Amino acid sequence: MRRAYAHLARRFAKLAAIEDSLAVLGWDTAAMMPEGGAPARAHQVAVLKGIAHATLTARGTEALLDKAASEALGPWEKANLALMRRRWAHAAAVPARLVEAFSKACSESEIVWRRARAKDDFAMARPHLERVLDLTHRIADAKAKGLGLSPYEALMDSFEPGLTQATLDRLFGQLEPALKALLPRVLEAQGPEPLPLPGPFPIAGQAALGLRAMRLLGFDFEHGRLDVSAHPFCGGVPEDVRITTRYDEADFFRSLLSVLHETGHALYEQGLPKEWRDQPVGQALGMALHESQSLIVEMQAGRSPAFLAFLAPLVAEELGVSGPAFGGANLVRLATRVRRSLIRVDADEVTYPLHVILRYRLETALIAGALAVKDLPQAWNDGMRELVGVVPANDREGCLQDIHWYDGAFGYFPSYTLGAILAAQFFQAAVAAVPVIPTALGQGEFAPLLAWLRANVHRRGAQVSAEALVAQATGRALSPEPFLAHLERRYLGSATL
């Protein structure tokens, strides 16, 4: 008899339905909702998050978890029970009223941030960010006590289970000097500037090109769709994955690359184990792993010379263009151009981790109380000068550029660079196991790569830790070496690391 476990499984299935509803509301907020609907949406989200919190922390949950631990469970059920306990421990540490207050503050802050960013007005956003940060401090302190972690690790654990600051400091400590040494070498070795892409490119043609690329990748349109939003993202639920992009009639390439990126996220969601769909063990294993799947598609495969050579005729066909600017060689130059840029989302893969390291430094200082919100713009500019070698001319290009902190997502930024490290390590292992993958990409065939990812990553769900999954899939512990070797090979024509 497994009565306690069965009771918990039903409760977590209910919780999954609530969280699915929140996910679809989140997509609607970004893609469809008129601005005037924001106050009502903030209330709806806060109420649903309160219900989710109450469901997770209902009286008797801890006793059920203890009883279920003595029941006869299989490997997946044991893993699921451990994840249930972790989810409960996070929720039980924080009072419901604080959860609702935080949700409301984040929703209000996000709306103000959108206006402040457009106006380049940090003063407008500052009091809302201070409110969010104050509530974040209270949540971090409560979770730290309940989980036995530092406040920052307690926040980060929501995105990356088990990740420690010591591990991050070690990985980033290896990356930072290597990238700062690599960057000037890459800039010096680059060839001529890419040929400009003479537009305009009608949105209808760009949308058709994006949809065609999604089909090549293996996206299931019976269980997903492509829409438009101010910032590309992947949302919804595995049975109904919603990805978005944004279009610029003067530049089709940016939209296409964002479609590749978000489709990578979507393929991971669509490949998770369906039989465990409504349980924690059937969900994504942390945001770094999620990001790795998008970067395998966009960076490792999508920006490879072989795939871009295949893509060039499709671009010509869907957009009605011709000429050397749209040839494979020029697309490669466009896709791999390295610059000391100000904006994270537009950064190349050599400088992108330096953008993330800056945010990691700043948010750990904010959480530790070593940096005040009022001093954030100057600290940001100083960090950009040191790490990337450029200084923002205004706060819109500086500390207002990302939504994360204004929406309460402290501890999330490291996932981006961890994802890049994982992507390189997974791709290296995939090619070693299935040598036909590079040739297949040159023919527009993603099936061999997707099959390896399905077997070694997607269908594993959250049954094992990220550390164990990486070791099992690649044969080694997480290391920045494959990523640095990839950069050397792609940008300098060597792999000496």
Pairing of strands 240-245, 234-237: antiparallel
Report the alpha-carbon distance of residue 382 to residue 315 in Å, rounded: 41
Using DSSP's 3-state secondary structure scheme, residue 97 falls into helix
The Cβ-side half-sphere exposure at 257, using a 13 Å CA radius, reads 21
Report the alpha-carbon distance of residue 484 to residue 421 in Å, rounded: 8
Q: In sequence order, what are the residues at sequence separation of 6 or more whose Cβ sits closer than 8 angstroms to the Cβ of residue 159?
A: 286, 287, 288, 409, 411, 412, 415
Q: How many Cβ atoms from other residues are within 10 Å of residue 324's Cβ?
A: 8
Facing residues of 240 across strands?
237
Report the alpha-carbon distance of residue 420 to residue 474 in Å, rounded: 15
| Residue 251, Cβ density class (10 Å: 0-12 exposed, 13-18 middle, ≥19 buried) | middle
H or E element: which one contains 235? strand 234-237
Q: Which of 262, 269, 291, 318 is catalytic?
A: 262
Strand order in the sheet with 224-228: 224-228, 240-245, 234-237
318 is catalytic: no
Residue type, 159: F
DSSP string, 372-412: -GGGHHHHHHHHHHHHTS---SSSTTTTTS-STGGGT-TT-
Contact 406, 110 (CB under 8 A): yes
Report the alpha-carbon distance of residue 94 to residue 65 in Å, rounded: 18
The residues annotated with a catalytic role in the active site are 262
